[in-house]
Amino acid sequence: MTLNLIDLNSLAGQLVVSAQAYPGEPMRDPRTMAQVAASAVVGGAAAIRVQGIADIQFTRAAVEVPVIGLWKDGHDGVFITPTLQHALSCASAGAHIVAIDGTRRPRPDGLSLAETIAGVHAESNALVMADCGSLDDAVAAAAAGADLIGTTLAGYTGERPKTDGPDLELIAQISGASLGRPLIAEGRIHSPAQARQALDAGAFAVVVGTAITHPASITGWFKDALRA
């Protein structure tokens, strides 16, 4: 068991930066992601979110702030840290917080969300962030023992529309439900103004990924804007 204890209060009102490169992309290298993560910390990120065991290990070595780790396996259905074994691997790699699929969908290992979270708590010191796609997910995840609730999967599970920017309505709904867990706004926060709106809608902290750490997407946004 590793000592991975963090103070969640350090994240209150703060920016978390997600550094992820996708399979086949030029930046898909744990050293690169750790350097991107360290650069984000220089800019003020209070925590980092990274994908993959090696990325978690390299990022832990590169930054002093808390690391949210996940393991994406596939890209359909339940793919964000889908099983307890994936979650425990993230914790062993050094994740202070393990982000897992926090939806109500069946999980590939047949465990319930509550059993998965209990397994992480029993076998590691990591906290669990439940990546949710709806208010019903968030309510269920809180009841299942999640330490943090994320809106990560809003717009990706069919329960919510895929809004252009953050799903502020969902953030307000979950915040209003007073679930007693820090609410992390994540997903399509593409500008500082939207990050502010997410906090104002009731989020405890805000995760920004693509708009800070994915040059291919950002370049595409600019290129599109130049089209006649």
Ligand X SMILES: CC(=O)N[C@H](C=O)[C@@H](O)[C@H](O)[C@H](O)COP(=O)(O)O
Interface ranges with ligand X (CB under 6 A): 18, 20, 70, 80, 152-153, 156, 186-189, 207-211
Shortest spacing between CB 11 and ligand X, in angstroms: 16
Q: Between residues 124 and 152, which has the closer beta carbon with respect to ligand X? A: 152
Q: What is the C-alpha to C-alpha distance for residues 220 and 228, in angstroms, rounded to an integer?
A: 15
Q: Is 3 exposed, middle or buried (0-12, 13-18, 19+ CB in 10 A)?
A: exposed
Q: What is the C-alpha to C-alpha distance for residues 141 and 147, in angstroms, rounded to an integer?
A: 9
What is the number of the residue whose Cβ is closest to ligand X? Answer: 209
Q: What is the C-alpha to C-alpha distance for residues 216 and 163, in angstroms, rounded to an integer?
A: 21
Q: Between residues 159 and 178, which has the closer beta carbon with respect to ligand X? A: 159
Other beta carbons within 10 Å of 40: 23
Residue holding tokens 């596939």? 74
Q: Between residues 5 and 210, which has the closer beta carbon with respect to ligand X? A: 210
Shortest spacing between CB 214 and ligand X, in angstroms: 7
Q: Between residues 182 and 209, which has the closer beta carbon with respect to ligand X? A: 209
Shortest spacing between CB 182 and ligand X, in angstroms: 16
Shortest spacing between CB 3 and ligand X, in angstroms: 25
